[in-house]
Amino acid sequence: MTEPTKRKGARCINDIPPETLEQLNAGKLETANLVEWLAVDRYRLLQQVLPKLGLRGLVKPTLGQLAKPGELKQTQIAPAIAAALLPAVKSSANREEIIEKLSAHPSDLVRSWAAYLIGLDEELKLAQKLILIRRFAADSHFGVREEAWFAVRASIDRELGVAIKLLAKWAKDKNENVRRFSSESTRPRGVWCKHIEALKVHPELGLPILEPLRGDPSKYVRDSVANWINDASKTRPDWAKEVCVRWREMSQTKETEYIVTKALRTIQKGTGK
């Protein structure tokens, strides 16, 4: 896992220093904030990084399989690159070495490609994917952590029962980023992703993950748990209210109160309270 960047980053793309943008596009630097993340030219980055990993021969084929620049949303480029790279990487005699180099790369965007190489590999069962994806769930960079749960979201949906059983253990992990992953990756509605319909109808299935987190010391985790319950409240307000009432009785702490208050915001808005 790389060390967190010390830079604050620019407030708008035009304010990014040219030398900083050049380093970002060359894969020598990780992004400091969302502005920089949006500013990186993923196609230039691909052309800079692959030759240095001994994959020069994959540059043109990979670019050829991607939509033209501007046709893909920024959130779609990483999985598209990984999908294009996956067959060649899997068939390489140096497969593990390549994935490790991508996984430990200085660029957060390149590390995200590695996460998607795991998530898109249909030969891996969910349990295997979660073992491999954990390093990205615990990554020091916000972007890599988000891409990590995006990468396995579809697999979690397909194997929901297995996912909940495994991620319930993650909910008790010492690392707050790993705990947050257990909640964020299973949100019924999520952000910029396909909904998990089973959890919209039966949110109680997620309790093995949520219960250990009801008074989490990390605001990062608490926000995710509150958003999880708020997601569920849009289809099962009865369940959301019951859980919040019970949590208030069981855990009379400021941490739990924070979660409950935020979790009920949609319901409260609807009642005008």
**Could you give the count of Cα atoms lying within 13 Å of 17 in the half-sphere of its Cβ?**
7
pLDDT surpasses 50 at 137? yes
| Rounded alpha-carbon distances, angstroms, from residue 47 to 26, 83, 192 | 9, 16, 27
Greater pLDDT, 262 or 95: 262
pLDDT of residue 69: 64
Give the pLDDT mean for 169-193. 96
How far is the C-alpha of 224 from the C-alpha of 105, rounded, in Å?
A: 27
pTM listed for this prediction: 0.92
Helix (H, G, I), strand (E, B) or coil at 141: coil
Encode pLDDT of 201-217 as tens digits.
999 999 999 999 999 99
- Among the ranges given (2-16, 78-92, 141-155), the one the predictor scored with the smallest mean pLDDT: 2-16
Supply the mean pLDDT for the chain.
93
Encode pLDDT of 214-273 as tens digits.
999 999 999 999 999 999 999 999 999 999 999 999 998 999 999 999 999 999 887 644
Question: Distance from first CA to last CA of the chain, Å, rounded?
Answer: 45
